[in-house]
Chains A and B, each alone.
Chain A
Amino acid sequence: MAVTERLDGPKVPPESTSGGPASGPADTPRKKSRLGPSPWLAIAFLLPAAVLLGVWVVYPIGFSIVRSLYDASNTQFVGLDNFATIFSDGNMLRTIRNNLIWVIVAPIVVTTLGLIFAVLTERIRWSTAFKLIVFMPMAVSLMAAGVIFRLVYDGDPDKGVANAILTTVHDTFSSSQGYPEARPREGEQSPVAAEGGGVVTKQPVQAGQPVLIPIVGVKPEVLPSDAAPAKAPAGGDTLSGTVWFDFTPGGGGVNGQLDGSEKGLPGMTVEAVSDGKVAGTATTAEDGTFAFDGLPAGSYTLRLPQSNFEGAYNGLAWLGPTLITPAIIGAFVWVWAGFAMVLIAAGLAAIPRDALEAARIDGASEWQVFRKITVPLLSPVLLVVFVTMIINTLKVFDLVFIIAPSSVQPEANVIALEMWRVAFGGGNNQGLGSALAIFLLILVLPFMVMNIRRFKRGES
């Protein structure tokens, strides 16, 4: 584990850093005798790296700064115009806003999940297996992860596992299965009529007179299996009635009347409306009856709102314009949670057990131990994870590029992707592309300074 002996390593809890000698061996080679080789030899050892870093990393920074001040064709000096474009163009602003969402949401979610996982893995025997599973996405290319999540987020609940789970959960907990294409029985005699996608009673209704709401056009496959033969409501002095499928299988029966064999429509929402306001809501039972308890006396219009007639719940449009960024952040969390977990778990293992034990003996609950001792001792590691995630979110490219279908890519756009699109992906504007690259560099600059500072502190 000597590799982990490092500037911000989670090995040393904060208290011990102030006193005592530094745990790192960094001070050994300092100020050693001049026994070593000549400086020329050092230069020879450094040369290949220096050339590569100079030509491929350092020189491009300077080149980009200059290039960002010129126009697309590199003929016209335009000053800061490219930067002005970044902060005024509508698409660019949306791109920046997306990056902002990324930077705010993703690091918090990843760090929190990493912390939870790290703590929980200490409580199970198969923690190694769990860590391997959660850590595995780290080895997979973001490209492959993108394909994986394109499949997960498929809008069709018969194909995408996300919507398959959502619809299953939804259908388990909610019985309000809709009746798509069902409609009120029409005609002069019918007491109800279609209105605004729902159904309303034509005449005002009062308590004591049962309201019949005949519905036709219910598709056999959406009729719940627990639907019982429709009955008239018990009556009494509450406002009550029946919503039923006014259709007798095999013919016969009288339209608009309960014939004994016709089925009630369970799970219908019925609203009692007075002066345009909903005064009460009821839900139909298996035999289609409903009753409004505790509704003030008076006359009402009953309404079956449109929601009753909507199709089955089909999950969310993950890859649609509104959810695309949260959906991609989900994939990002899937990739990086393992990294956070492993780092935090290492930090957790380095916390002195006796400190925790002492607190427990003093009567602190697990939660208090966690809040008051574990988290503060972990804060250096948490910070490293958090900062690493901020840098990663700023640079996020592959996942957005792969997961967002081309039609919604403008809605999901981020700076790193926009830089590529503008300069190489058809935009062909290397002036603006350079400005975006510089913008990205400026965004990571504070963390660069932070790294250098932290390293210096670790060395001294």
Chain B
Amino acid sequence: MTTATASAPRGAHAGAPRRSFAGRIVDRLGSGAVQVVMILLGLFWLVPTLGLLVVSLRSVETNTAEGWWTIFTKPAELTLEGYANLLASGFTASFWNTIAITVPTTILVIGIAAMAAYAFAWMEFRGRDTLFLVVVGLLIVPIQIALIPVAALYGQAGIFGSIPGVVLFHVAFGLPFAIFLLRNFFVGIPASLLEAARMDGAPEWKIFVSVVFPLGKPAIASLGIFQFLWVWNDMLIALVFANTENQPMTKALQSQMRQFGTNIDVLSSGAFLSLIIPLILFFAFQRYFVQGMMAGSVK
């Protein structure tokens, strides 16, 4: 970038504007060239995933023999063999485990964080601001810090390897972001709405459930989708805290990585299955997804 600065004419504003070389190039990009560049870039981002899909739809033999792009010349070779093998290998169990981990985590995070966020936004208590700064600080604590201590705790409590253990770990590490996001949203709810309810003598939990929660829907939707994807896609926490019986898809697939190549059918179809639900969610709710990410980019 600095080199380009040098080529910008210094005395440009004196008299007729002379465009620098770099300037002309940038201006030219406005025309067709930029279209071509963008199409190429778009392909660049699309092709890897497309490759995975095609590989997952071909037999191991075909995949060992040639690249997936030969699909364009001989499309007849597609097969669902890989997916059949995957289901036969007991992958379905890990799919249900992923659901059993992701759904409760998302619900718990939303519920617990919404309560805390409401307290931070609309209740008075000593040390509130300091406490919230702690939450802001916790936003980026690496989960590595908790792996060893929590593993020890779980060992004592006898929940090591179990789904509740995995869920609770996820919930705890999802909370700082969730509280942060919701508190910042709740704080924007017009005070008059809450005060009116309080004047009417509505109990606090009722205000929370019938005023704040419905008004907070956009933020809660963002948080929900984000949290869901985050837990769905996690591998590290599952690797440490889920045993083979309770492992989600990411861990099940990871255990197949060692034989990469010979089991490419199972691996590629599993990877594709694991990403299809996030992709559907993403395309359906991308607005909330983007908002959630923008609001949480401190993370």
Contact = CB atoms under 8 A, between A and B. Distances in A.
A394 B145 CA distance: 13
Interface stretch (A225-233, A310-318, A440-448): A440-448
B142 A416 contact: yes
Given A37-B123, A41-B204, A60-B146, A32 B191 contact: yes
A276 interface: no
Contacts, number: 373
A187 to B, nearest CB: 42
Given A437-B142, A451-B140, A45 B13 contact: no
Interface stretch (B34-42, B72-80, B82-90): B34-42
Interface in A434-460: 434, 436-438, 440-441, 444, 447-449, 451-452, 454-456, 459
Contact of B184 (A6, A41, A56, A370): A6
Contact of A61 (B145, B152, B254): B145
B185 A3 contact: yes
B274 A371 contact: no
Contacts of A10: 294
A130 B35 CA distance: 11
A424 B118 CA distance: 38
Contacts of B51: 148, 151-152, 161
A249 to B, nearest CB: 31
A437 B171 CA distance: 20
Contact of A49 (B34, B116, B121, B253): B116
B138 A57 contact: yes
Contacts of A4: 291, 294-295
A59 B149 contact: yes
Contacts of A339: 293, 297
Interface string B63-79: 11011110000000000
Contacts of B298: 7-8, 384, 388, 451, 454-455
Contacts of B253: 143-144, 147
Contact of B8 (A46, A121, A367, A430): A367
A101 interface: no
Contacts of A37: 123, 204
Interface string B48-64: 11011001000000011
B211 interface: no
Interface in A110-144: 117, 120-121, 123-124, 129-130, 132-144
A416 B25 CA distance: 43
Contacts of A436: 144
B6 to A, nearest CB: 11
Contacts of A368: 8, 12, 20, 23
A42 interface: yes
Interface string B235-267: 110011000000000100110011010000001
Interface in B251-299: 253-254, 257-258, 260, 267-268, 271-272, 274-275, 278-279, 281-283, 286, 289-295, 297-299
Interface of B: 1, 4-5, 8, 12-13, 16-17, 19-20, 22-27, 29-30, 34-35, 37-38, 41-42, 45-49, 51-52, 55, 63-64, 66-69, 112-113, 115-116, 118-126, 128-129, 131, 133, 135-142, 144-153, 168-169, 171-173, 175-176, 179, 181, 184-185, 187-188, 190-191, 195, 198-199, 204, 208, 218-219, 222, 229, 232-236, 239-240, 250, 253-254, 257-258, 260, 267-268, 271-272, 274-275, 278-279, 281-283, 286, 289-295, 297-299
Given A4-B294, A43-B125, A139-B278, 5 more contacts: A46-B115, A53-B176, A149-B48, A343-B294, A384-B297
28 contacts: A8-B297, A24-B188, A29-B121, A46-B116, A55-B172, A63-B152, A121-B38, A123-B30, A138-B293, A139-B229, A139-B289, A143-B233, A143-B235, A144-B253, A144-B275, A151-B268, A334-B48, A343-B294, A365-B20, A366-B26, A367-B8, A406-B258, A416-B236, A419-B147, A424-B151, A433-B147, A447-B140, A448-B141
